[in-house]
Amino acid sequence: MGTNINRRFKSLLGTYSGLPKEIYVLFIARVINCIGNFVYPFMTFFLKDRLNMSPKEIGTFITITAVCGGIGSLIGGKLADHAGRKRTIIISQGLAAFSLILCGVLNNPHFIIWLLILSGVFNGAAQPANSAMLADVTNKENRKAAFSLLYLGINVGFAIGPLIAGMLYNNHMRILFIGDGITTLISLILVMVYVKESIPEEKEMEIRIDDDEKSEEGSTILALIKRPNLLIFTFISIIYSFIYAQAGYIIPLQVNDIFGTIASKKLYGYLMTVNALTVIFFTTIITHITKKNKAVLNIALAGVFYAIGFGMLSIIKAYPLFILSTAVWTVGEILCSTNSGVYIANHSPMSHRGRFNALIPIISGAGYAIAPYVMGGILEKSGFTLSWTLVLGLAILSGISMYGLYLNEKRK
């Protein structure tokens, strides 16, 4: 029995063996960066407590920030394909870090609002370059493991970051901003020193012409239209992002409503830690179990876990059930996050990777952008029960739609 356990353990660890060295460096950089990601998990509390915004005003601000981040992403995607992945990452995230440090130095709520929006623009510009680099240094055989490892790194950091932020929030807000910026700079130093530029050369683009990753001429829109399955996937993903956005919007408001203003910050921080710990302990297991599945099938399964995890929030009141709910919808998050990037990478032309990784998340992320504004109005008029019931219905719809896409690809 002990031998079997050892074999299974080695098999799980083997999920991440043999990856390009750049992936391991990026993993460490993600861990460091996300340990210091103090500000954004507590954005809703900051806007409510420090600026006295209503739920609808908070939703509007978050939507504006998301739209500005989308604009930055489009710019970053273009730069990534023409100026290079590494250069785009260093400049964009460096400016984002500087914006956050200024927030802590100035310590003026009204200046902070604009600096946070600016930071969102710069972070948005870095994302497509990060995703394109990850696709550049992997292939279809190891890509799922690489995306899984990087996602795991993000959540190793998030397991620690929100817990620290929850303890510092009430009395040391300036430290949160400055610490966030400094850890971002440290992660960038690792990228600068140990990761080479990965943008494909012309010879490589000419050789690799056998599948959806082959180089394309012309505009990004035209290249995307030539890939109808990817286009369908993108629009279904809008619903997924709308659903997931509620973890950072409705849940903290609901926790605040049930457990009170003072206790809610720490309790919500604990939930985010549960979210991160679930990712840490189960990502490798889930990746190992589902590694033979098509990425789109795993994303369809994510809809099931979203339906259960978020749907139960329409009826529960006890805090232990909030913990259970968080663990359940986090399984959906794992399935969705570790497979969405893989699906996009496998269907993106290598000549347009930066632009595809900018445009597609913007389209699919529209759900994330509009969710706070839409649900803010519903929440004020109808309360938490109806809001979560709507989310439940959307989770079922999106899961069925993604499964239909899977069946369509399987027939072909």
**pLDDT tens digits along 115-125:** 888 988 998 89
CA distance 231 to 340: 13
Task: Say if residue 201 is exposed, middle or buried (CB neighbours under 10 Å; 0-12, 13-18, 19+).
Answer: exposed
How far is the first Cα of the chain from the last one, in angstroms, to the nearest whole number?
43
Residue 12 confidence class, pLDDT cut points 50, 70, 90: low
User: In this structure, what token pair is assigned to residue 265?
Assistant: 């910050």
| Predicted pLDDT at 53 | 77
| Predicted pLDDT at 3 | 55
Per-residue HEC secondary structure of the chain comes to: CHHHHHHHHHHHHHHHCCCCHHHHHHHHHHHHHHHCCCCHHHHHHHHHHCCCCCHHHHHHHHHHHHHHHHHHHHHHHHHHHHCCHHHHHHHHHHHHHHHHHHHHHHCCHHHHHHHHHHHHHHHHHHHHHHHHHHHHCCCCCCHHHHHHHHHHHHHHHHHHHHHHHHHHCCCCHHHHHHHHHHHHHHHHHHHHHHCCCCCCCHHHHHHCCCCCCCCCCCCHHHHHHCCHHHHHHHHHHHHHHHHHHHHCCHHHHHHHHHHCHHHHHHHHHHHHHHHHHHHHHHHHHHHHHCCCCCHHHHHHHHHHHHHHHHHHHHCCCCHHHHHHHHHHHHHHHHHHHHHHHHHHHHCCCHHHHHHHHHHHHHHHCHHHHHHHHHHHHHHHHHHHHHHHHHHHHHHHHHHHHHHHHHHHHHHC
| Predicted pLDDT at 401 | 96
Report pTM: 0.81
Residue 94 confidence class, pLDDT cut points 50, 70, 90: very high
Residue with more model confidence, 404 or 64: 404
| Predicted pLDDT at 7 | 60
Q: What percent of the chain shows pLDDT beyond 70?
A: 92
Task: Say if residue 24 is exposed, middle or buried (CB neighbours under 10 Å; 0-12, 13-18, 19+).
Answer: middle
Q: Provide mean pLDDT across the span 265-291.
A: 87
Look-up of token digits 């400094």: 182
| Predicted pLDDT at 13 | 61
Residue 4 confidence class, pLDDT cut points 50, 70, 90: low
Does 208 have pLDDT greater than 60?
Answer: no
User: In this structure, what token pair is assigned to residue 67?
Assistant: 């739209």
Q: Provide mean pLDDT across the span 306-328.
A: 94
Look-up of token digits 């370059």: 129
- Taking each helix axis from N to C end, the angle separating 109-136 and 143-168, rounded to the nearest 10 degrees, works out to 160
User: In this structure, what token pair is assigned to residue 182?
Assistant: 């400094």
Residue 23 confidence class, pLDDT cut points 50, 70, 90: very high
Does 188 have pLDDT greater than 90?
Answer: yes
Look at 128-132, 149-153, 198-202, 308-312 and tell me which has the smallest mean pLDDT.
198-202
Q: Provide mean pLDDT across the span 193-214.
A: 70
Q: Provide mean pLDDT across the span 362-369.
A: 84
Average per-residue pLDDT for the chain: 85
Tell me which amino acid residue 124 is.
G
Look-up of token digits 């035209």: 222
Q: Provide mean pLDDT across the span 139-154.
A: 88
* Residues 32-71 pLDDT 10s: 888 877 677 677 777 777 777 787 778 788 778 878 888 9
Q: Provide mean pLDDT across the span 68-76.
A: 90
| Predicted pLDDT at 395 | 96
Q: Provide mean pLDDT across the span 207-224.
A: 71
Does 5 have pLDDT greater than 70?
Answer: no
Look at 122-131, 267-276, 338-347, 383-392 and tell me which has the smallest mean pLDDT.
267-276
* Residues 154-179 pLDDT 10s: 878 877 777 777 777 777 777 888 88
| Predicted pLDDT at 91 | 94
- Taking each helix axis from N to C end, the angle separating 143-168 and 261-289, rounded to the nearest 10 degrees, works out to 170
CA distance 275 to 358: 26
Does 240 have pLDDT greater than 90?
Answer: yes
User: In this structure, what token pair is assigned to residue 199?
Assistant: 């943008």
Task: Say if residue 172 is exposed, middle or buried (CB neighbours under 10 Å; 0-12, 13-18, 19+).
Answer: middle
| Predicted pLDDT at 173 | 73
Look at 29-43, 246-260, 395-409 and tell me which has the smallest mean pLDDT.
29-43
| Predicted pLDDT at 6 | 57
| Predicted pLDDT at 191 | 92
Q: Provide mean pLDDT across the span 314-323.
A: 93
Look-up of token digits 């500000």: 39
| Predicted pLDDT at 238 | 95
Domains detected in the chain: 18-196+219-411 (1.20.1250.20)
179, 144, 133, 180: which is closest to 25 by C-alpha? Answer: 133
